[in-house]
């Protein structure tokens, strides 16, 4: 599959898995409600969990949202890139996309094949992670096919960031960080000033559910004990487990590897997976956020 074929399928109202720098997305033309409905159905995603609108260029944003001054500064600095901006929506945005809310989430992804697809389509796509609701997000084309056999996939190789985008809400008096991502809080705050913390219990952000990004295998923090039976290990040095994922010591590389590691261990027929706690420090915020939602 190439971008021209992907754009054609999307134009016909079909779903296509697309590569982005964060994770693979399950894309549907954002102007076709029946296609958007199929995204919810295929993922098993509750209807009140809003979708991100992926744009081919920052200039498209004005057709979808009301853009505050901070929007232009963030977009100029970080787009294309792993940053989603929530702004008041315009009337043409389907309530299916926004979960009935009066705001819309916008992003320009940084992957050449997907940007080409979007520009050929001439319309944005909605593109939640291409996995069943609550599962680990796919960071390789083969992960998508293991979730959804037979789905059309635009293979763009492994996702270099590997964690979902940072989400900043620009609808209130103060910008708020709704979900941490690879862009660190301090990088964002250089543009926004102090970001207020998100209310993690708010259901507006599916990724904010307590248990999300979760393997099927029981997964818990390392507490120093050695489990009986077949067990897995996600850590920085070897531990003598049945299957081990050795993780990089840089937060960025760890983030890029994490979901593939969770999937590998999840497929290894283990009784439990233990996770070594990553170091403290703001650069680990996004990794720690995802690990907390993967462990029991």
Q: Is 204 in the site for ligand AMP (CB under 6 A)?
A: yes
**How far, in Å, CA of 284 to CA of 252, rounded?**
8
Q: Is 101 in the site for ligand AMP (CB under 6 A)?
A: yes
Closer Cβ to Mg ion, 31 or 137, answer by number: 137
Residues 140-199 close enough to bind ligand AMP by CB under 6 A: 164, 167, 178-179
Q: Which of 205, 171, 166, 202 is nearest to 186 (CA)?
A: 166
List the one residue from 129, 166, 184, 219 that touches Mg ion (CB under 5 A).
129
Q: Is 139 in the site for Mg ion (CB under 5 A)?
A: no
List the one residue from 128, 160, 162, 215 that touches ligand AMP (CB under 6 A).
128
Q: Which residues pair with 200 in a beta bridge?
A: none
> Distances in Å between the alpha carbon of 138 and those of 183, 198, 273?
20, 25, 19
**How far, in Å, CA of 246 to CA of 261, rounded?**
9
Cβ at position 128, least distance to Mg ion in Å: 6
Cβ at position 137, least distance to Mg ion in Å: 5
Cβ at position 93, least distance to ligand AMP in Å: 9
Which range of residues in 84-92, 130-138, 166-174, 225-233 is near Mg ion by CB under 5 A? 130-138
Residue 76, exposed/middle/buried by CB under 10 A (0-12, 13-18, 19+)? exposed
Closer Cβ to Mg ion, 23 or 273, answer by number: 23
Q: Is 50 in the site for ligand AMP (CB under 6 A)?
A: yes
User: Which of Mg ion, ligand AMP, none has residue 77 at its interface (CB below 5 to 8 Å by kind)?
Assistant: none
**How far, in Å, CA of 25 to CA of 15, rounded?**
10
Q: Which of 214, 233, 220 is nearest to 294 (CA)?
A: 214
Number of other CB atoms surrounding residue 195 within 10 Å: 20
**How far, in Å, CA of 26 to CA of 194, rounded?**
33
List the one residue from 61, 105, 241, 247 that touches ligand AMP (CB under 6 A).
105
Q: Is 273 in the site for ligand AMP (CB under 6 A)?
A: no
Closer Cβ to Mg ion, 137 or 139, answer by number: 137
Cβ atoms 262, 234 nearer than 8 A: yes
Binding site for ligand AMP (CB under 6 A): 49-52, 84, 86, 98, 101, 103-105, 128-129, 164, 167, 178-179, 204-207
């Amino acid at each position: 599959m190439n971008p021209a074929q992907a754009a054609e399928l999307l134009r016909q109202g079909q779903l296509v898995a697309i590569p982005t720098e964060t994770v693979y997305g399950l894309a549907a033309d954002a102007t076709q409600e029946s296609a958007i409905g199929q995204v919810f159905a295929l993922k098993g995603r509750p209807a009140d969990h809003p979708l991100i609108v992926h744009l081919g260029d920052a200039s498209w944003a004005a057709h979808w949202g009301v853009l505050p001054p901070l929007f232009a500064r963030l977009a100029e600095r970080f787009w294309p890139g792993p940053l989603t901006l929530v702004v008041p929506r315009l009337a043409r945005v389907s309530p299916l996309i926004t979960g009935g809310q009066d705001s819309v989430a916008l992003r320009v992804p940084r992957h050449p094949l997907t940007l080409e697809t979007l520009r050929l389509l001439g319309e944005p796509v909605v593109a939640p992670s291409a996995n069943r609701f609550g599962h680990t997000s796919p960071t390789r084309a083969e992960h998508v096919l293991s979730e959804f056999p037979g789905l059309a996939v635009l293979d763009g190789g492994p996702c270099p960031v590997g964690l979902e985008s940072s989400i900043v809400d620009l609808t209130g008096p103060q910008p708020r960080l709704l979900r941490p991502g690879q862009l660190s809080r301090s990088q964002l705050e250089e543009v926004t000033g102090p970001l207020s913390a998100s209310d993690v219990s708010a259901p507006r952000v599916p990724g904010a559910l307590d248990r999300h990004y979760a393997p099927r295998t029981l997964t818990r923090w390392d507490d120093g004990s050695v489990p009986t039976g077949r067990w897995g290990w996600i850590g920085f040095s070897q531990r003598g487990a049945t299957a081990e994922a050795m993780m990089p010591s840089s937060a960025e590389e760890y983030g890029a590897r994490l979901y593939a590691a969770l999937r590998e261990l999840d497929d290894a027929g283990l009784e439990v997976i233990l996770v070594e706690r990553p170091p403290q420090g703001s650069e680990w915020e996004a990794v720690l956020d995802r690990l907390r939602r993967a462990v029991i």
